[in-house]
Amino acid sequence: LTDAVMVARGDLGVEVKMEEVPMAQKMIIEKCNKAGKPVIVATQMMESMITAPRPTRAETSDVANAVLDGADAVMLSAETAVGAYPAEVIRSMVGTILSVETRSPKLFHKWWPVDPASPTFMVDSVLSAACHLAKNTGAKVITGMTHRGYTAFQIAKYRPKANIFIFTDDRSILTVLSLVWGVRCFYYDRFNSTDSTIADLRYVLTTTGHLNKGDVFINTATLPITDKGRANMVKVSVA
């Protein structure tokens, strides 16, 4: 199974008619979102900025639509590799992404149905419930522990408005998870007990400024935590 999918519009335009590429992009992104797979949109996102200090209106709309479609990431290539304005490209793209994310409530709370026939039905139900709890309680943060990344992928697929903080004892997936929508990842290897681990996570998030006193946050975990299995517990906490 693939770890992530790239919608490379240049290659896609060779395989299908050019006018079919936009709908193919939307279809691929939706399927990836439903499956909990990160999806990257690439190729000519801000191509004119190879030689120009500002993007065209069409390019800005293209980036915005990729975000609205549900992309986990948008990718630049020649614009920053050989372009004359790499810093300006990044600023333009970040500004567009932030503008869309702060003005489009439809980006959040994607309630994909949980498949009862799936071998991961139980853990999927737990993580779906965590996202519903976060919405209903106005939680600022959802935390999860993972060893392979599954918890991060599943929480992100529901697009909660709460920040997603994932803790892992595998350094190799720290950078991988940075690609996933809304996820920030920390290295953590002190899985002694559920209570002590949740206390540690609260400490890390409060001391780094991600949680303030009185903020609601949702914890997902395996009980007992030393089993290092998939999540089977949800806890609502207050910082």
The predicted model scores a pTM of: 0.90
Q: How far apart are CA 233 and CA 221, in angstroms?
A: 5
The percent of residues above 90 in pLDDT, for the chain, comes to 85
Distances in Å between the Cα of 230 and the Cα atoms of 6, 108, 112, 122, 201 are: 27, 24, 19, 9, 18
CATH number of 5-105: 3.20.20.60
How confident is the model over 124-165, as pLDDT tens digits?
A: 999 999 999 999 999 999 999 998 899 999 999 999 999 999
Give tens-digit pLDDT for 22-44.
Answer: 999 999 999 999 999 999 999 99
CA separation for the pair 225, 194 (Å, rounded): 6
Residue 227 has pLDDT above 80, yes or no: no
Domain boundaries along the sequence of the chain: 5-105, 121-238
pLDDT reported for residue 190: 86
Query: Which tokens hold the place of 66?
Result: 């990729």
Does residue 88 carry a pLDDT above 90?
Answer: yes
> What does the angle CA 223 – CA 224 – CA 230 come to, to the nearest 5 degrees?
55
Flag whether pLDDT at 229 surpasses 80. no
**Check whether domain 121-238 has CATH 3.40.1380.20, yes or no:** yes
pLDDT over threshold 80, residue 73: yes
DSSP per-residue string spanning 112-163: PPP-TTSTTHHHHHHHHHHHHHHHHHT-SEEEEEESSSHHHHHHHHT--SSE
What confidence tier does 2 reach under pLDDT thresholds 50, 70, 90? confident
Q: Give burial (CB, 10 Å; 0-12/13-18/19+) of 14.
A: exposed
Residue 95: other Cβ atoms inside 10 A: 13
pLDDT at 39: 97
Tokens standing for residue 86: 């790499």
